[in-house]
Amino acid sequence: MDAKQSDLSCSISNLMAMSLPVIISVLSGTLMYTMDRVLLAHYSLEAMNGAGFAHQVVDIFVLPFLSFAAISEAFVGQFNGARQFKKASDPIMQIAISLICGWVVVFPFAICSRSFFIPASVYSEGNPYFCIGMIMIPFQIINSSISAFFVGTRRPKVILTAVLTANILNLVLDWAFIFGVGPIPPMGAKGAAIASLIATITSAIILGALFFNHYNAQNYDTRHMNFDWVILKRNLYIGAPYALSEFIEMSIWVTVLLLLEHISMDAVTLQNVGVTIWVFLAFISEGLQKGVMSLASNCIGAGKDILIRRLVRSMMWITCIWAVVSAVPLLLYPDPLLGFAFNITEATLLKDYRVLLFLLWLSYIFLLLSFSCLGGILSSGGDTKFVTCVKISSIFSCVVIPVGAFVYFGELTALTSWWLCVFQQIFNGIFFYKRFKKGTWKHNMVN
């Protein structure tokens, strides 16, 4: 069925039909990151920790850009729901070009300040990974922006070709560049970064070709750069709070990692293993969040926002199903997972890692309800200021102040941050739900 005429039902089946291609797409991206860490763990722990450090520092710079790109999905969805199809591509072109210009300004500062963020203990592996990661940002912006267009126009299946191709390419190149094959020398974390860069560029080329193809040019006017300064300013205005919250949150978590580095490298390793699994699991939370945001924004654009309550009920059922499914590897069989993926088999270490997996599982249950469901719905209505205020409040109330207290009393451990993460997600969920119930978050942003 043509995306323009598709049903706006917010049932479980329709939400999954909308989210599943996005979930598979995000899974390919998170699998790319996870395979890097798994292969690097078998190459050396120093390489894995260096890449883990560098990647989180890169995220300080890249996540704000990707937040701006992702929020354009709400504009595309509302244009699509309002049947203003020729305007649906305008937010994508405008925001992508603006963000790449912003990257040009940020890049020199990031490169010059890398020694401040990456400690000497992992600098040899982390430095090249960081530099290549910063070069990758423009292509990530393109991927995120064009993906937002296809999700917002309710055609997420289109992006699968690009992400699956990139993921397969990355896996092959990872093995060759990390361990070395034939004339290619082993490069460790640098090799993983090069493989990701090539795969990301490949994905951007494929998505660009799909975005500008004949169908989209004819139906969505993608080959014409119509700069609507009003929409661009709205996109930047609404995206700015969300980008700010991402910047602050990632800065805090990098600070926590730096504090753990002063405790022991074992603590850093545990933290990086936790982050790796967390990023991998993001395929379900981000995929569903995009599905929720697309359906909600289309409903608002079509004047059918009464259906959004059904969307919440659908998300609650999906969360319950996910809780049962994910408990199998994380809670019932943690030791095989840790041994196979990260080469962690020492009995004295496994106890802490089992607790880590439990906390990751618990955090994700609350994350699905707070971020993926309620946060996505609030963002679809342009209520990003409230989302940002809550996220910043939660990071300071549930992470910064407690971590400061634990550091002061000398009680900070790697597991501490994951306990705090659980409380942070509960905090977010409570305030997002209260805002949703009030109904003041709904705004039509395209009229």
Measured distance CA(26)–CA(172) in Å, rounded: 19
Closest CA to 152 of 36, 72, 82: 72
CB 350 within 8 A of CB 344: yes
- Average pLDDT on 256-263 reads 86
Residue 444 has a pLDDT of 59
Residue 440 has a pLDDT of 77
pLDDT tier at 1, thresholds 50, 70, 90: very low
Residue 22 has a pLDDT of 64
Which tokens in the block code for residue 331? 């809670």
pLDDT of 353-402, one tens digit each?
A: 999 999 999 998 888 878 778 888 887 777 878 888 888 899 899 988 99
pLDDT of 264-300, one tens digit each?
A: 888 888 988 998 888 888 778 877 887 787 778 777 7
183, β-bridge pairs: none
**Which residues fall within 8 angstroms of residue 338, CB to CB, at 6 or more apart?**
273, 344, 345, 350, 353, 357
- Average pLDDT on 139-159 reads 84
Instruction: Classify the phi-psi angles of 113: left when phi > 0, otherwise alpha if psi is within -120 to 50, otherwise beta.
Output: alpha
Sign of the Cα torsion 369, 375, 378, 379 reads negative
User: What distance lies between CA 313 and its chain's CA centroid?
Assistant: 24
Measured distance CA(286)–CA(277) in Å, rounded: 14
Closest CA to 29 of 132, 173, 158, 159: 159
- Average pLDDT on 179-207 reads 93
H helix intervals, 114-159: 114-117, 123-152
- Average pLDDT on 79-88 reads 81
Q: Give the Å distances, CA to CA, from 181 to 105, 171, 177, 185.
A: 37, 14, 7, 7
pLDDT of 307-343, one tens digit each?
A: 778 878 888 888 888 889 999 999 999 999 888 888 8
Residue 4 has a pLDDT of 45
Measured distance CA(148)–CA(197) in Å, rounded: 21
Measured distance CA(336)–CA(357) in Å, rounded: 12
